[in-house]
Structure 1
Amino acid sequence: MSYVKRIVYFVIALLIVFATVIFVLENKQSVSLVFLGWSSPELPLAVSLILVLLSGMAIGPLLAFIFAQKKKRHPGIS
């Protein structure tokens, strides 16, 4: 069973890699993002979107951890 599970995980990981490569190849036009007056250098659209996705994946759990800690200290706060 473990062998089959490894193969399934490998196939899923391979599909994610292929989807990412296709996404990057399809979105090569350069864009410059502006946020709160700060302007980024021109990067391919795919790179910008992947950076935003990774930032959200890092900030989301961090905020959840902070709010969980705050709730532990003050159990009456909803």
Structure 2
Amino acid sequence: MRGVKRVALVTTVLVAALVVIGFVLENQQGVSLSFFGWATAQIPVAIFIVLALILGMLIGPLLGVVVCGRRRKLPSAGRG
């Protein structure tokens, strides 16, 4: 059973890597983003999306830790 799980995991990772590579290769047109007067140089749209993905993968778990930490610190109401 452990071997089947390992093969499934490796297959999933390889498929995900192929999808990302395909996405990057298909989105090579240059774009420039502007936000509150700040503008970027023209770089491929795939770079912006991959950076947003990485940023979300970093911020999401951090927000989860903050929210769960607050819930644990709150006093329990109604328990007597």
Give the count of matched residue pairs: 76
Matched, 1:58 2:50: no
Aligned counterpart, 1:12: 12
Counterpart for residue 26 of structure 2 = 26
Aligned runs of 1:36-47 on 2, under 5 Å?
36-47=36-47
Please, what is the CA RMSD of the aligned residues?
1.5
Percentage identity across aligned positions?
A: 38
Structure 1 segments unaligned to the other structure (5+ residues)? none
Q: TM-score when scaled to structure 2? A: 0.82
Structure 1 length-normalised TM:
0.84
CA-to-partner distance for each residue in 1:19-65, whole Å, 9 max, x for gaps? 01110011001111122222222210011101011111111111121
User: Gaps spanning 5+ residues in structure 2: where?
Assistant: none
Could you say what secondary structure the match of 1:41 adopts?
coil
Tell me the distance in 2 between the aligned counterparts of 1:75 and 1:51. 39
- Alignment partners' CA distance in 1, 2:16 and 2:57: 16
